[in-house]
Amino acid sequence: MSLTSRALGYLLKFPDATTHRVAVEQLRIPMSDGVDLIADRWYPQRAGAEATPVLLTRTPYGRRLEGLAGRLFAERGFQHVIVSCRGTFGSGGIWEPFWNEKSDGKAVFAWLAEQPWFTGTAATLGASYVGFTQWSVAADLPPFVRAASLGVTSSNFRDFVYPGGAFALDDMLAWTNTLETQQLPRRKRWAARRGGKKAMARATATIPSAEADVALLGRHVTYFQDWITHDERDDPLWAPINFGPDVAAVAPANMHAGWYDVFLTGQLRDFQAVRAAGRSARLTVGPWVHSSVGNFATYLRETAHWMTAHLGGAPQRLPDVRVFVLGARRWIDLPDWPPPANRTTFHLQPDSTLSTTPAPTSPPDTYRYDPHDPTPSIGGALLRPAAAGPKDNRRLERRADVLIYTTSPLAEDVTVVGTVSTRLHVRSSLRHTDFFVRLCDVASNGHSINLCDGLLRVRAGSVQQHADGTLCLELELSPTANTFLAGHRIRLQVSSGAHPRFARNTGTGESQATQHTLVAADQEIFHDPEHPSTISLPILDHAVSAAPTRRGRRNRHATS
């Protein structure tokens, strides 16, 4: 194992190891209700090892997955305590995602403080759900917690479940499938995963959506039912697991995100809130989907440097904000997020173009959205790595229920960094409908690569209706950083769904859980002096976007 960890430490550019003699012991951590959580403690076997700081990870995915990181950190002078969440991988109690993490986290800290090998200095780390376990205790951190590393995660779970108001069907089914099969014996687990693609297709097509877990797993799953049956933002179910109000209390935080990650928008919002409160935080955003290898390799490396600086007293080696610019394929360093940018507005035109010139008087463009044949999702922010990330959208754009608006070829490079926003003047035959918008980079060969997108679920009365029946919708897309190279074109897609990433809108206003009836919507997109539909891009100053950095091939997008 030491040869493997030495090679990995070298490849990951970890700080130099101080020892390769490492031990691991299993521990039992008592909770106040009599349940014991199982943990592994990785620690260095060398003189003075009893004085090393403790890194804490709480995970529902098993301690073996974290064990390699445990060894790498132990070789660098840390103790790494890896705790299996309640009801998972030997820990007692019932596995209920999210509900016990705050109370169990406080109990783990109290236990940690009493251990003879604890010397009064600790930090937390972990990605995805493991990052959420850190947010759950942010408001109650003991003073000995000196740092945190939060990878591809967010403090508010509800916004992940209902982005734009629509249920994240694909993600919630995929995650439920992972959670429900991960502790099966190996053969059964492999068999479940081999049939997973067909089962997912069957489940996402199921109406009503509350039966999707049965289609996937053959039974209802309690927590999936909770998620899909509580779709209102102010539903009391969500308040106890929204830790957004607590983010300013977090320890000095290393944050790590990806442009195609499902938690990107929430994580950048958390970063801004932490910085606005005057707390210490840094940010990396790379060209990654949620589960890409490059994502976690970079996260581990930067976590090692962050912990070495904050717990070991080494100099800080990381910039405040470092982002990967798609298109140009290079990293740039920034003082903060978002960087200062010049907002440039492009108007939707009647000839399907985008222009900085306002559109003339013209009739609206139209399409029909039929939930019996919902507009499919292609790429973007999804948990399933094969379905996620940058994809060629030309097949999608040939559908009759997708409108596209495209600039002329650009005379020079244009770098967009920040949040993209749109204003659409629309009219629908239904009072309940969705609108989905997506920004794409169209290469000279015609490939249309998705960069960022956003969806808004419109309900009766949720948006003011004007006398002519139109609605003015403000849609904020997920943030991005991309250089549209000279000769490329900027494209905006407009449609009314991306299924199964978002549960289809049935058009009836029924609950997403119990919907049965499917009604088609006739949609109109306006672009005239009275109804100027636009997209606003944050364009970076050339001097900033051209700052010297490591650079790769110019005309490719990356996810790892």
> Catalytic residues, which ones?
128, 261, 290
CA distance 264 to 122: 27
Tokens 């991306």 locate to 498
CA distance 253 to 190: 37
CA angle 544, 546, 547 (to 5 degrees): 70
Residues 6+ apart with CB under 8 A from 257: 152, 263, 264, 267, 268, 283, 284, 285, 286
Longest dimension (CA), the chain: 80
Under 8 Å between Cβ of 156 and 86:
no
| Direct distance between the N- and C-terminal alpha carbons of the chain, in angstroms, rounded to an integer | 25
User: What is 354-392 written as a DSSP string?
Assistant: EESSPP-S-PPEEEEE-TTSPPBP-SBS-SSTTT-B--B
Q: Are strands 489-495 and 403-406 parallel, antiparallel or unpaired?
A: antiparallel
- Torsion sign (Cα): 368, 370, 376, 381: positive
**Closest by alpha carbon to 251, among 288, 218, 277?**
277
Q: Which one-letter DSSP state was computed for residue 460?
A: T
Show the tokens assigned to 296: 């976690």
